[in-house]
Structure formats: structure tokens, C-alpha cells
């Protein structure tokens, strides 16, 4: 399954015109590099979205994908590696992948941070053999407008997702249909 996903992403990278190297580099990242990139990405998110910092202080865990590559030409795909932090400590590494079909063209790089607000949502992630988003805990994707209205009394969902740091030309950053799977990168 993993080699199929990598093959799909490599083909899509070639179709998108030269994103093959970053896609392969994302899969070859070491645990240390993923953690470093995640720290930097989270700092960037907190600087841009103060409400994300507040949410982070209340979250049971944060799963940060510092670099997700999305590319497509009629057939699209996205993928990237991230780190799960529980109490500020690394609790595992994960991959996110998705495929899509339809009218699309372009390539984009972005980051995602998923804030797990309940013990049950965190347990679901840790116990599942690949979490297909759209099944299991409820996920709310936050934009700047929604984040601005977030208060301590309105935090009622299992997981909040913040897309950020978008670069490139491609529409849509939905999580629906993505699969998150635990990985074991080298040191």
C-alpha cells in the first residue's frame, strides 16, 4: 500500500511539472527532520493565528504535518509526513495521503495542524490502523474567520484542523477522504 501511494504521488508530481523531487524528499525525511519542520510550522501557525495557540494549550495532542504536497492534472494526490505531540513530547509519526479525481490542475505545498481535544479522539488515532478522515471523530477545519470566533465555550468538537502556509496554485485544502497512517521513519 505504501509503495502504491508513493508511486501515485511520484506520477502526479511528474504530471504537475517538476514536483517529483519534493514529494520523494518528503517520504525520505528522517524523524529528526520531521520534528524540526513540525516545530517551525507550529511556531508559524501560532504567530499567524493566536487562537490556534490557545487551542494548543487546551488540546490533548497536536498532530502537525509541516509539509503536504498536493498536485494534480485531472487525477490528483496529496501526501506528507507529520509528528504527533502529546504533552509537548513526540508520541509518534504519521503520514497523510489522499487521491482525487476531477477537474483540477496545479501543485501546492501547505501545512496542517490537527488539535485533538478529547481523549477518545486521540485514542481513536492511536488505536486505528489508518484513520480515514470522515469516519471516526468529528473534524472541524478552521479558517481565520472561524478561528476568530473560537472561545473556551465554543470548543465542542473532537478535532480542529488548521491549514496554513499555502504556497502554489491549486484550489482546495480539504481533509475529507484523507487517510492518516502511523509510520516509523529512521532517525
Q: Beta-carbon neighbour count of residue 133 at 10 Å?
A: 20
Predicted local confidence at residue 91, as pLDDT: 96
Given this model, what pLDDT does residue 20 score?
Answer: 37
pTM: 0.75
Q: What is the pLDDT of residue 175?
A: 55
pLDDT score recorded for residue 25:
41
Q: Where are the domains of the chain?
A: 2-183
Q: Report the pLDDT value the prediction gives residue 46, as an integer from 0 to 100.
A: 95
Other C-beta atoms lying within 10 Å of the C-beta of residue 185: 17
pLDDT, averaged in runs of 10, over the chain (187 residues): 45 42 51 96 94 92 94 86 96 91 81 93 87 61 47 60 82 65 89
**Which DSSP string do the residues of 81-134 spell out, in sequence order?**
EEEEEETTEEEEEEEEEEEEEEEEEEEEEEEEEEEE-SHHHHHHHHHSSSEETT
Residue 153 to residues 50, 114, 165, 176: CA-CA distances in angstroms?
17, 19, 28, 26
Q: How far apart are CA 187 and CA 177, in angstroms?
A: 30
Q: CA 60: distance to chain centroid?
A: 17
pLDDT score recorded for residue 187: 73
pLDDT given for residue 157 in this prediction: 78
Amino acid at each position: 500500500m505504501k509503495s502504491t501511494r508513493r508511486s501515485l504521488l511520484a506520477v502526479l508530481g511528474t504530471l504537475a511539472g517538476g514536483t517529483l523531487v519534493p514529494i520523494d524528499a518528503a517520504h525520505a525525511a528522517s524523524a529528526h527532520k520531521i520534528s524540526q519542520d513540525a516545530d517551525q510550522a507550529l511556531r508559524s501557525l501560532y504567530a499567524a493565528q493566536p487562537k490556534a495557540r490557545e487551542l494548543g494549550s487546551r488540546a490533548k495532542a497536536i498532530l502537525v504535518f509541516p509539509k503536504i504536497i498536493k498536485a494534480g492534472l485531472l487525477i490528483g494526490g496529496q501526501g506528507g509526513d507529520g509528528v504527533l505531540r502529546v504533552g509537548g513530547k513526540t508520541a509518534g509519526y504519521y503520514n497523510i495521503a489522499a487521491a482525487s479525481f476531477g477537474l483540477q490542475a496545479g501543485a501546492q505545498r501547505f501545512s496542517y495542524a490537527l488539535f485533538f481535544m478529547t481523549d477518545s479522539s486521540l485514542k481513536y488515532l492511536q488505536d486505528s490502523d489508518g484513520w480515514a478522515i470522515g469516519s471516526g471523530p468529528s473534524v472541524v477545519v478552521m479558517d481565520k474567520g472561524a478561528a476568530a470566533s473560537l472561545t473556551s465555550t465554543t470548543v465542542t468538537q473532537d478535532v480542529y484542523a488548521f491549514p496554513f502556509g499555502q504556497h502554489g496554485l491549486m484550489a482546495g485544502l480539504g481533509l475529507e477522504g484523507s487517510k492518516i497512517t502511523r509510520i516509523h521513519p529512521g532517525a
